[in-house]
Structure 1
Amino acid sequence: MACSPAAAEIEAEAPAEEEREAITVTGVRQSYRGDFALKEIPQAIATIDEAVIEENNILRLTDALDLNASISRQNTLGGLWDSFAVRGFAGDENLPSGYLVNGFNAGRGYSGQRDVAGIERVEVLKGPAAAVLGRGEPGGSINLVTKQAELGRTFGTASLQYRSFDTVRTEGDANVALTGNLTARLIGYAESGDTFRDTVEQKRWGFLPSIGLGIGDNTRLTYDFEWTRVEVPFDRGIVVLNGDFDTVPRSRFLGEPRDGDIVARATGHQLRLQHDFSDRWSLLLGASHRDTTLSGFASEAETARARQKLFIDGRSLSRQRRSRDFSSEHSVVRAELAGQFETGTLRHRVLIGADFDYFDSSQLSARYRGPVTTAATSDAAGYAIDLQNPVYGRSSPPSLTRFLDRLDTQRTMGIYVQDQISLTDRLQVRVGGRYDDFLLRVNNRLNNTLGRRRRGRFSPQAGIVYELNDPLSLYAAYGEGYRGNIGADAAGNVFEPETSKSIEAGVKLSTLAGRLSGTLAVFQLEKSNVLATDTLNSGFSVAIGKARSRGVELDLNGKLPGDVDVLLSYAYTDAETRSRVLDPNFAFLIEPGDPLINIPKHNLNVQAIKHFTFGSRAASLGAGVQYVGKRSGETGTAFMLPSHTLARVFGQVDVIDGLELFGSVTNLFDEQWYASSFSPLWVQPGSPRTGTIGLRATF
Structure 2
Amino acid sequence: MKLDKLFQSLLLTGTVVLCISTPSKGEEVREDVQGKSFTQVIGKSTSPQTAPGKASKNILQLSEIKLPATSAQMLVQTPTPTNPPNLEQRSGDRVVPIIGVKANPTDKGVELILETTRGEELQVKNLSTGNNFIADIPGAQLRLASGEAFIFRSEKPLAEITEITVTNVDANTVRLTVVGEKSLPTVELFDDNTGLVFGINSAAIATSPPQQPQTPQDQQKPASETPQQEPTAQQDEPIELLVTGEQDTYNASETSTATKTDTPLRDIPQSIQVVPRQVLEDRKVRSLKEAVETVSGVVDAGSNFGAPSGGRIIRGFVQLGNFRNGYRDTGYNNDSFSLTGIGTIEQVEVLKGPASVLFGAVEPGGIVNVTTKQPLSEPYYSLGFEAGNFGYYQPSIDFSGPLNADKTVLYRFIANYQNSEGFQDSVNTNITTIAPSISLKLGDRTDLNLYYEYTNYNGYPNQSGSWFFSDGSFLPRNLFLGYPDLTFIDAKTQKFGYILNQKLSNNWQIRNNFSVATTRTRDAFAGGLDIVDDSSLVGINAERRGYSIDNYFGQIDLLGKFKTGSISHQLLVGFDFNRNVQTFEALISDSPLPNLDIFNPDYNISNPTYIPNYSFDSSTQSYGAYLQDQVSILDNLKLLIGGRLDWVSQNQTNSGIDSPEQNDSAFSPRVGLVYQPSKSVSLYTSYSQSFLPTSGFNPDNRAFKPTKGTQYEAGIKTDFLDGKLSTTLAVYQITKTNVTIPDQNNRDFQIQVGEQRSRGIELDVAGEILPGWKVIGSYAYTDAEVTEDIDISVGNKLLGVPENQASLWTTYEIQKGNLKGLGFGLGLFYVGERAALSDNSVELPNYLRTDAAIFYRRDRFNAAMNIRNLFDTDYFSSTYGYTLGLERGAPFTIIGSIRWEL
After TM superposition, the score normalised by the length of structure 1 is 0.90
The CA deviation at 1:556 is 0.8
CA distance in 2, matches of 1:222, 1:53: 25
The CA deviation at 1:130 is 2.3
Q: Give the conservation status (yes or no) of the 8 Å contact 1:185–1:211.
A: yes
Q: Give the conservation status (yes or no) of the 8 Å contact 2:315–2:758.
A: yes
Name the counterpart of 1:643.
Answer: 846
CA distance in 2, matches of 1:388, 1:13: 64
Indicate whether 1:347 and 2:558 are aligned.
Answer: no
The CA deviation at 1:484 is 1.4
Compare 25-34 and 120-129 and name the one that shifted more. Answer: 25-34
Indicate whether 1:225 and 2:452 are aligned.
Answer: yes
Identity of aligned residues (%): 27
Q: Give the conservation status (yes or no) of the 8 Å contact 1:528–1:546.
A: yes
The CA deviation at 1:20 is 4.7
Max Rg structure: 2
Name the counterpart of 2:498.
Answer: 271
Distance 1:616 1:568, change over 3 A: closer
Indicate whether 1:285 and 2:512 are aligned.
Answer: yes
| SS of structure 2 residue aligned to 1:117 | helix
| SS of structure 1 residue aligned to 2:666 | strand
Indicate whether 1:126 and 2:328 are aligned.
Answer: no
Distance 1:402 1:351, change over 3 A: same
Q: Could you say which structure has the greater relative contact order, defined with CA pairs below 8 angstroms and 6 or more residues apart? A: 1
Q: Give the conservation status (yes or no) of the 8 Å contact 2:535–2:597.
A: no
CA distance in 2, matches of 1:369, 1:87: 42
Report Cα offsets for 1:637-669 as digits up to 9, x if no partner: 320110000111112114x75332211111111
The CA deviation at 1:127 is 2.1
CA distance in 2, matches of 1:382, 1:330: 37
Q: Give the conservation status (yes or no) of the 8 Å contact 2:834–2:843.
A: yes
Distance 1:432 1:657, change over 3 A: closer
Indicate whether 1:670 and 2:872 are aligned.
Answer: yes
Report Cα offsets for 1:371-426 as digits up to 9, x if no partner: xxxxxxxxxx45321112111023x3332222221111111100000112222221
Distance 1:13 1:581, change over 3 A: farther
Aligned with residue 165 of structure 1, among 377, 390, 395: 390
| SS of structure 2 residue aligned to 1:250 | coil
Name the counterpart of 1:37.
Answer: 264
The CA deviation at 1:317 is 2.9
Name the counterpart of 2:480.
Answer: 253
Compare 54-63 and 127-136 and name the one that shifted more. Answer: 127-136
Amino acid at match of 1:572: Y
Aligned with residue 600 of structure 2, among 383, 389, 399: 389
Indicate whether 1:425 and 2:638 are aligned.
Answer: no
For 1:353-432, list aligned pairs within 5 A.
Answer: 353-368=574-589, 381-394=592-605, 396-432=606-642
The CA deviation at 1:614 is 6.5
Name the counterpart of 2:798.
Answer: 596
CA distance in 1, matches of 2:756, 2:304: 23
Q: Give the conservation status (yes or no) of the 8 Å contact 2:494–2:517.
A: yes
The CA deviation at 1:325 is 0.4
The CA deviation at 1:616 is 5.6
Aligned with residue 184 of structure 1, among 411, 415, 430: 411
Q: Give the conservation status (yes or no) of the 8 Å contact 1:159–1:172.
A: yes
Q: Give the conservation status (yes or no) of the 8 Å contact 1:34–1:350.
A: no
Name the counterpart of 2:890.
Answer: 687
Amino acid at match of 1:170: P
Amino acid at match of 1:104: Y
CA-atom RMSD in angstroms: 2.2
Name the counterpart of 2:681.
Answer: 472
Name the counterpart of 1:376.
Answer: none
Distance 1:20 1:141, change over 3 A: farther
Amino acid at match of 1:78: F
Name the counterpart of 2:646.
Answer: 436
CA distance in 1, matches of 2:127, 2:663: 43
Distance 1:450 1:643, change over 3 A: closer
Distance 1:197 1:688, change over 3 A: same
The CA deviation at 1:160 is 0.7
Amino acid at match of 1:535: Q
Number of residue equivalences: 656
CA distance in 2, matches of 1:518, 1:671: 30
Report Cα offsets for 1:272-313 as digits up to 9, x if no partner: 0012223322221000001101102210222xxxxx4x3467
Distance 1:313 1:463, change over 3 A: closer
Report Cα offsets for 1:58-93 as digits up to 9, x if no partner: 1110111111122111132432431211111105xx
CA distance in 2, matches of 1:84, 1:523: 19
Name the counterpart of 2:664.
Answer: 455
Indicate whether 1:237 and 2:468 are aligned.
Answer: no
Amino acid at match of 1:82: G
Report Cα offsets for 1:244-273 as digits up to 9, x if no partner: 233x20110012221242111001112100
Q: Give the conservation status (yes or no) of the 8 Å contact 1:160–1:695.
A: yes
Aligned with residue 330 of structure 2, among 107, 121, 124: 107
Report Cα offsets for 1:453-497 as digits up to 9, x if no partner: 101111111110000111111000001111112233133222221
Aligned with residue 542 of structure 1, among 751, 762, 772: 751
The CA deviation at 1:22 is 4.4
Name the counterpart of 2:523.
Answer: 296
Amino acid at match of 1:434: R
Indicate whether 1:634 and 2:844 are aligned.
Answer: no
| SS of structure 2 residue aligned to 1:581 | coil
Aligned with residue 139 of structure 1, among 365, 373, 379: 365
Indicate whether 1:210 and 2:437 are aligned.
Answer: yes
CA distance in 2, matches of 1:19, 1:496: 51
Indicate whether 1:200 and 2:427 are aligned.
Answer: yes
The CA deviation at 1:605 is 0.6
Amino acid at match of 2:382: T
